Structure 1
Amino acid sequence: MDNDLYISANVVRRVFSSSTYQTGNIKEIYKNKIYLIIVYKGVVMKNTSLGYHTFSFFQRLKEDEYFALSGSFMDYANLNKDMKMFPVKNKKGQCIYYIYSYRPSNGIRWLLLSPLMKNGFIAYGILTIIDSKVLIEGNYITASKEDELETVERIYNGKVSEISPILNKFGECSLSRVDPCLNIDLQELNIPCSPAQMISLIKQGNIPEHYQERKVEYNKKQHRRVTDKNSFYLESKSSVINYYWKYPQQDNEKHPNYFFKEASRNVIRLEVQCKYLAIYNLAQNIRNTTRSYYSMEDENSDQMYERMIYGIFHPKNPADVILRDSVLEGVIQKHFYRIVRKGDYFTLDGARIMVKSYDFRKDKEERLIYALEQVKECHGIAKAKEKLRGQDLTDFKRSLRDLDDILVNPVTIPRRWGIEYIPNLLSAYFDVIYEEQIVHKKEFLAKKRIEKFLLKIEDHKI
């Protein structure tokens, strides 16, 4: 076997692909830069889960179809008292669209959209929004997996057949949004910090290019809008990234899971809301693997522009392709490493010890320690980047990559917490789920070095 690969129990994470759960020639897999997971543990946890929770699709309608469908929904609501219709209005009191949903919520709702209303839409259509775990079992915490999609499809098709033949069947629908997510229950994974502390560390992470952090609350003392203390919410044109503590979201009497909120007390949700453009890019190379595939000619530039601007006309983005476990895991991992990074959390002193243990050249060692100190002083990676220019910024970004290589997070644990070490959340999840993985030698050795560091802490030698 290649000298740069090791098989190791409970070690590290890696890229997932359609070949993830298949056996094959190790060298061929390595050559294609795919890391093969050897053993799947099949560990089942109550709240900790990786998958998706919400997705939606838009169906364009002709004017006569729109009004016929509106009538069908009204007739259905009159016959089924659990179906409710209500208008959504803007600040001026103008109707934007109508929502049809079930009360109590069953995980599915429809938005009727028309250019006649004050919403900026240029076409008639209906937007379907599905929270699949709520639809299946009334669960507002756990993420859905690929193997549950058939159940979602069966329930959805049953509902639309009762309402109108105008509504597309599930296999005919094209995704307009999907929210891959990773739920981490800190207690289930034995993470030695509180949810508030974990969010504090996450909020000191990186803000990728083209993203901005949303400010939602007005602080009277600071006389300005500030970010939500319980979430790290980043927005771009193609996606929204929201890493947040689940419990405060459900600690609201209007939330449908309010009376069962206690189950979410230790849950951190790492969520990526993929808009049309992100889904389109995901589907490009795998679209024809859907069971409902049909041949399509490429769109011209005017059609593509119209889709991007208005977000209501969609190419064929089949749910059974995008909502595969391997695709969703790849999305979560990509964004997590860009924002939170690969490394585990140490105190600043502990991080210094880890860096020095490698006996790097003096200039490299000083560069890495300086980066750690800059992040500490500026209260985060993004804020440290903001104050640097030119070669200093180049060196800082290089140091972030070098710290990733030795699995040391640039964000450090405050001494006042009394905690010496906190594992990387994604690493902790994969270490529980997958018993054995093939990893790079560099990463394997970094993990072993961390284990030695932790043993010294236990023996009070640090």
Structure 2
Amino acid sequence: MQHTVHMFYKLNYHFYTALFEVLQQLSASNRTKFYKEVDGTYHCHLLLKETGIKLILRSKEYEEGISYKALEIIMNPMRLLDENDYLQLASMENSKAIYAAFKRAFEPIKKKFESKKRNRKFIFKLHLLDTYSFKRVDFAVNFYTEHIKLYMKLIRRSNVPSGFQQFVMYKESSKRCEPPEHSFYLFRKSKSGSKSSRVTLNIQCYDKGEQLKEHNLDRDERAEYTIRFEVQCHYSKVYRIIKRNGLNRQGFSQFLREDISEHELQKYFKKTIGYGDYYTLSKAKEFIGSKRLGLEMKQSLIETLELVSAKRGIWKAKEVVADKKEFDKRIKKLHELEVNPVTIPVTEGIDYLPCLFDL
């Protein structure tokens, strides 16, 4: 299942200049935003309101006469089909409709571009989805539950895998940086070690209703009961997916394949939230005590459950343990036994919640 894509199509100087002029003119006549960002890119909102497509013109000059000029597109494919749909995710069954809607959205740009005599030497292919290569692909899955607030409370206590960092933001009320209130948001950077190292992967799990509320967006009633788990793959990660699956550099529909999205979603769900069910601490300890395990193993797992409970989170517990590798092994073992190391506070009045993927 797919949520958002960031695509690009490289242009030569003359095509870039001609396209720039057309987008600028259409934006003026349609009274839509066309502006320069601090990074030097030009953002065009010509198609944004009705289709959710953001157009970006990027031009960079490097040494030795090398340059990069491109049209970049950020879009949520389902908003092509319904401009107010911020909930549903794109799948292969939507493929034909998405291709047709994309082509239709670009028709005014194509018509204006080709109406100019000096542009007749160019072949306009920007209305064809398979023209573009990919900078980022976001895979996602929606979970529906009436216990959304409790699930999110527990999810925010999940594991932060090695190599990942938790996203934090400054909170005026506490005068310190804290994780977002309604989401569990992790990111991983490239291993260059420099200040300019780039983010290669984001993992987000969030309350969809709260997210729409924060952005003042129309809310589908179902969003109030929706938890979204999302894996955002940036360029280097996308390239590895292409290589591993024998995909083409262009071809939108290949990223709608269920096996590809499922592989990435399940891989990172397992690393972070995990497939164990949620119990109260006493129930989890009772469950471990009933398993055929050595006494030493049982004791170490129970100690891990108690520590995670006391620290209110796996990532917080990991900060205080001396042997982090051993701690990770115990967390992994608990998940293998289908017990989530994060336990339900007794005050919640619920002693069991299934793994989200079992809903």
Q: Is this contact kept in 2: 1:283–1:321, CA < 8 A?
A: no
Distance 1:170 1:96 in 2: 22
Identical amino acids, percent of aligned pairs: 25
> CA separation of 1:267/1:217 partners in 2, compared to 1, >3 Å: closer, same or farther?
farther
User: Would you say the 8 A contact 1:217–1:228 is kept in 2?
Assistant: no
Amino acid at match of 2:35: P
1:99 paired residue number = 44
Which of 157, 162, 167 pairs up with 1:214?
167
Matched residue, 1:340: 273
Question: Does residue 130 of structure 1 match 2:99?
Answer: no
CA deviation profile, 1:354-409 (whole Å, cap 9, x unmatched): 1011142211110110111111112111121222223xx33322222221221000
Q: Which runs of 5+ in 1 are unaligned?
A: 1-50, 188-192, 294-315, 429-462
Give 2:335's aligned residue. 404
Counterpart of 1:241 (choices 194, 198, 203) is 203
Between the two proteins, the alignment pairs up a number of residues equal to 331
Alpha-carbon distance in 2 for matches of 1:103, 1:127: 13
Q: Which runs of 4+ in 1 moved over 4 A?
A: none
Aligned pair in 2 of structure 1 residues 103, 111: CA closer, same or farther (>3 Å)?
closer
Contact 1:240 1:272 in 2 (8 A): yes
Q: Which one of the candidate residues 26, 34, 38 is aligned to 1:86?
A: 34
Question: What is the Cα deviation at residue 75 of structure 1?
Answer: 4.0
- The secondary structure found in structure 2 opposite 1:263 is helix
- Deviation per residue, 1:84-103 (Å, 9 max, x gap): 2331544xxx8642223336
Residue matched to 2:261: 328
Q: One-letter code of the match for 1:61?
A: L
1:201 aligns with 2:154: yes
Q: Distance in 2 between matches of 1:215 and 1:231?
A: 11
Separation of aligned partners in 1, 2:339 and 2:46: 47
> Match for residue 378 of structure 1?
311
What is the letter of the counterpart of residue 381 of structure 1?
I
The answer (yes or no) to whether the contact 2:27–2:46 under 8 Å persists in 1 is no
CA offsets 1:121-147 (integer angstroms, 9 cap, x no match): 962211111211111123111111122
Answer yes or no: is the 8 Å Cα contact 2:40–2:58 preserved in 1: no
Equivalence for 1:255: 216
1:307 matched residue in structure 2: none
1:287 corresponds to which of 228, 233, 246: 246
Confirm or deny that 1:368 pairs with 2:301.
yes
Match in the other structure for 1:150: 96
Structure 2 equivalent of residue 421 of structure 1: 352
Structure 2: runs of 5+ lacking an equivalent: 111-123, 189-198
**2:108 aligns to what SS in structure 1?**
helix
Partner of 1:267: 226
The structure with higher relative contact order (CA 8 Å, sep 6+) is 1
- Once the two structures are superposed, residues 241-284 of structure 1 have per-residue CA deviations (whole angstroms, 9 ceiling, x without a partner) of 111111122224x6342xx3543112111111110111111110
Q: Deviations over 1:166-192 (max 9, x none)?
A: 5262122212111111111213xxxxx
TM-score under structure 1 length normalisation: 0.67
Q: CA RMSD in A?
A: 2.2
8 A contact 1:56–1:176 mirrored in 2: yes
Checking the alignment, whether the CA contact within 8 Å between 2:283 and 2:351 is kept in structure 1 is: yes
CA contact (8 A) 2:159 2:314 kept: yes
